[in-house]
Amino acid sequence: MASAATAPAASEAATTASIGTPTLWIATIAGVLALFVVDFLITRRPHDPSMREALGWSAFYIAIPLAFGGWLWWQYGSQQGVEYYTGYIVEKSLSVDNLFVFIILLSAFAVPRELRQRVL
C-alpha cells in the first residue's frame, strides 16, 4: 500500500524535473536572442510610435508568453501550466509600478518622444 501512495509523488517529481531539459533551455535562449535581434532591428530608426503600433507590439509581447504557457500546459500538465500562468500574472502585476518610474525618469531627463523607445 505504501508503494501505491508514493507512485504519484515519484511520477510528479519526474515530470517536474524534466521541465529543465537542455533542449528547452537552448530553445528559450535562442528565442530570447531572436526577440532581441527583432527589437534592435525595428528600433534602429527613432520615431514616435503610434497608438496602433504600441498596441500591436504589446499584443505581440503578451501573446508570446501566453502561447508558451499553453505549450507548457499541454506538454507538462495542468499543475505546471497553472504555476507558470500564476507567476506570469504576479510578474505583470508587480511590473506596473516600473511604468511610473520610467515616466518620471524620461520626463525628468527631458528625453524627446521620438527617442524614448530607443532609450527603453
Q: How many domains in the chain?
A: 1
Q: Which residue has the higher pLDDT, 119 or 97?
A: 97
Q: Does the residue 1 lie in any domain?
A: no
Report how far residue 35's alpha carbon sits from residue 33's, in angstroms, rounded to the nearest whole number: 5
Q: Does the residue 7 lie in any domain?
A: no
How does residue 18 score in pLDDT terms, banded at 50, 70 and 90? low
Q: Domain range spanning residue 63?
A: 21-119
Q: Does the residue 15 lie in any domain?
A: no
For position 17, what pLDDT does the model report? Answer: 58
For position 80, what pLDDT does the model report? Answer: 92
For position 70, what pLDDT does the model report? Answer: 96
CB 45 within 8 A of CB 120: no
Gyration radius of the chain over CA positions = 20
Kindly provide the b/e burial profile for residues 2-39, where b requires at least 16 CB atoms within 10 angstroms of the residue's own CB: eeeeeeeeeeeeeeeeeeeeeeeeeeeeeeeeeeeeee
Residue-wise pLDDT tens digits, 47-101: 777 899 889 989 999 999 999 999 999 998 999 999 999 999 999 998 888 888 8
Q: Does the residue 58 lie in any domain?
A: yes
Which secondary structure element, helix H or strand E, spans residue 57, and what is its range? Answer: helix 51-76
CB proximity list for 84: less than 8 A, separation 6 or greater: 68, 69, 72, 73
Residue-wise pLDDT tens digits, 30-42: 999 999 998 888 8
pLDDT score of 5 more than 60: no
Read off the pTM.
0.69
Q: Which residue has the higher pLDDT, 21 or 15?
A: 21
CB 13 within 8 A of CB 79: no
